Amino acid sequence: MANIPQTIGNYRLEHELGRGATSQVWMGRHIFLHERAVAVKLLLSHDEESVLRFTREAELTSQLRHQHIIQIYDHATPTNSFPYTVMELVSGGSVRQRVEKDGKLPLREAITIFRQIGSALDYAHSRNIIHRDVSPGNILLDASGSRALLTDFGIARLPDQRHTSTDMIMGTPGFFSPEHARSATLVTSLSDLYGLGVILYFMLSGQLPWETPPQHPDYRFDAILPLGYHGVELPLEVEKIIRTMLAIDPQKRYPTASAAMEALDGAFARSGIVTDEQPLTLGEATAVRAINTAPSFQAIGLVESEVEQALAADLLREPFERSHARAEELRDPLVLARVLDQWSTSGRRREFRKQHLGRIVNLREVRSRNVYFYQLEVLLETRTEPKDVEEPDANAPDLPVQKEQNRWQVVLPPPSAFEDDPGRAEIIPGSERVIACPRCEGSGYELCPECKGSRRVLVSRPVATSDGGDGVALRRQQEGPGHVAASRQRAAGQPAHLNDAAASETTQVRQVLVPCTVCAGMGRLKCDRCHGEGRLVQRRAFEWSRRALKASSYDDLPHLDENQVRQEVELTKVYEERHIGGLKREWSAVPGLKGLIANVQKQLGTDTCVAMAAVTIMMVPYTEVRLDLGHDEVVIEGETEERRTDDRVHLVQIYGFENLVRVGSFAYDGSQKLLFFWSFLATIAMLLLLVALLLPIFL
């Protein structure tokens, strides 16, 4: 207090209003203009970076002239005193102080503050200024509480600003976005809208949206708690809108605060909830002009489909905002007239080749919707029934004792792409057990199959004998093989009649015991099954493989050729999600995906599941216009002219953001439908009569 001067510039400081880490805010009064009360913000730190940010805050804020953004009156950085900024005085305190004091705010008050601060953010974003610290402490209320003002642009930046610190987290914990936690350079206008969504939840419930708020250092953003968890009962549609604002992916949030407010206003209107500052109703905002319209003309805006209902929180919001704006434009007969005028010069059908076609036709009905094209990619994983596998218990490895897992509990390499994978065998953890080898009964060896453990085997060997009887043979055996060989050499040199005795010799085969060559005389062999260990490690294993499937479909509208549309206009991606471990439940709520998913589920069973699935949804905005040509046509029959009113109802289709036009199938009013019905019956009767007449001829 002693260090703060009594006067700053032309203002006398009266009392402190609040303080931050590096600044204080004082209530000041002009020295000469006594009725002029202001807020004076003093910067207590004099380092270069702090002074730079302080000056930039004043500079950026001074560029913004909006009824819900604090106004800057003066700014200076004197060399002998504190840098200061003179601002508009707002005496009602901040939203944070209000909630901490009184708890959750009434719905009307919370929505009013949300609408006002949202308009301030949209204005700042239109000037390419990002606040980066949208939090309840930076929203001030006037004394009446009916006016909210956004303040403290101290860390705001322009998109092309270069001196933002990439490794610094800027903002108020609990209110900054997931991209804040990753890098300051990733913060965009969508990050400000995330903070605004947290503020709305905070005002309605008095609490932050998570059971455990994101905290340093991991900043994990858990699932959003329902408002009903805090005793706030609001329609489910409102809950979905808040979850959309708090989507982790910035592209899935509403692109502007006004888009979120419009969604909330629609949800409140459908639920019969009245809030302050109700906007014009849809009919009042885009009043249909009674020019070239039938008395029963209906102009219906964008009809919500099951895609928006089932996947609202995960849809990319920007395409929907464009589609909604397009549908609202085409509700206006004058806009339709311009579209038809531009197209009529190139119309292929004669009745539509007219100048100022849009002024001639009578509009009967306009209805818009989005047409969706779906693609489902699935990776099916098959795991066979486990079987026992074994290996020798070599070296007695350490086998941890653990509970045996189910085959579907075994963690496999995560899939990364939708491609076929032949897989391999996988051991089930906890299934290991050591057993005695059944073949060798734990001995590690088995009897030699050749000698049966006797170590010897009988082999057949030839033995030479002669006709001279057993004595000669015996003598020759005693004389040995050397003597026999010598006798044969002598006999070879003798006359033929002297070799008769040798010629009379014969050979006999006898069984002889020899060492077993299979077991090398050991009588046993190492067990092939256990490799001589006597023990086996037995486990359970299964085979796994993966197979990729791809299927597509589209919304099949009665009068629309979707394949032609796909070729003529550019499809806009509105949804792309990949899910590991199955199919997301909300996908089945989309009719265009339901059939694709049913075909996949037919292939599932006890051995097959979905390892990974991805859905991509593309969109084309589509408008149906029913009209008649609004004129009398002249029909010449012979020499007479007959004027007939051309009241045929035509279906004109406008599709794509390019607003391409084509004439679809005819639509009919009630009288034409009846005429068509009786004509059809008459044709059938004529055919039956013709068959009855011709049948006897052929028989």
**DSSP letters spanning 434-446:** EEE-TTTTTSSEE
Contact, 372 vs 305, CB < 8 A? yes
pTM of the full structure: 0.67
Q: Would you kindly state where each structural domain of the chain is located, as residue ranges? A: 7-88, 90-279, 625-692
Helix axes 189-205, 107-126, angle to 10 degrees: 170
Contact, 416 vs 485, CB < 8 A? no
> 117 to each of 173, 279, 290, how far by Cα in Å?
19, 16, 38
102: alpha, beta or left, given left = phi > 0 and alpha = psi -120 to 50?
Answer: alpha
Task: Please give the full DSSP string across 270-281, using - where no structure is assigned.
Answer: HHT---SSPPPP
What is d(CA 107, CA 120) in angstroms, rounded to the nearest whole number? 20
Contact, 370 vs 622, CB < 8 A? yes
Contact, 510 vs 460, CB < 8 A? yes
Q: Indicate the CATH number for domain 90-279.
A: 1.10.510.10
What is d(CA 86, CA 76) in angstroms, rounded to the nearest whole number? 9
Instruction: Kindly report each contact of residues 18-23 with a partner whose C-beta sits within 8 Å and lies 24 or more positions away, as own/partner.
Output: 22/50, 23/54
> CA angle, 642 as apex, 641 and 646 as ends, to 5°?
135
Q: How many CA atoms lie within 13 A of 452 on its CB side?
A: 2
SS3 561: coil
* β 72-76/84-88 pair status: antiparallel
Element (H or E) spanning 651, and its range? strand 649-655
Q: What are phi and psi of 488, to 5 degrees?
A: -70, -35
Torsion of CA 408, 411, 417, 418, to 10 degrees: -10
Tokens (6 digits) for 225: 């708690």
Instruction: Look at residue 677 in the predicted model and tell me its pLDDT.
Output: 56
pLDDT < 50: residue spans in the chain = 1-2, 163, 166, 278-291, 469, 471-474, 477-478, 484, 487, 491, 496, 498, 501, 634, 666-674
Tokens (6 digits) for 73: 């009156």
Helix axes 107-126, 257-271, angle to 10 degrees: 150
Q: Omega into 217 within 30° of 0, i.e. cis?
A: yes
Tokens (6 digits) for 616: 């991509």
Candidate list 47, 74, 122, 133, residue with the active-site label: 133
Q: How many helices (H) and strands (E) would you count in the chain? A: 17, 24
Q: Indicate the CATH number for domain 7-88.
A: 3.30.200.20
Torsion of CA 279, 282, 287, 292, to 10 degrees: 170
What is d(CA 137, CA 98) in angstroms, rounded to the nearest whole number? 10
What DSSP state is assigned to residue 499? G
Instruction: Look at residue 491 in the predicted model and tell me its pLDDT.
Output: 47
What is d(CA 443, CA 530) in angstroms, rounded to the nearest whole number? 10
Is 133 an active-site residue? yes
Show Cβ contacts of residue 323 under 8 Å, excluding neighbours closer than 6 positions.
Answer: 302, 368, 370, 619, 621, 657
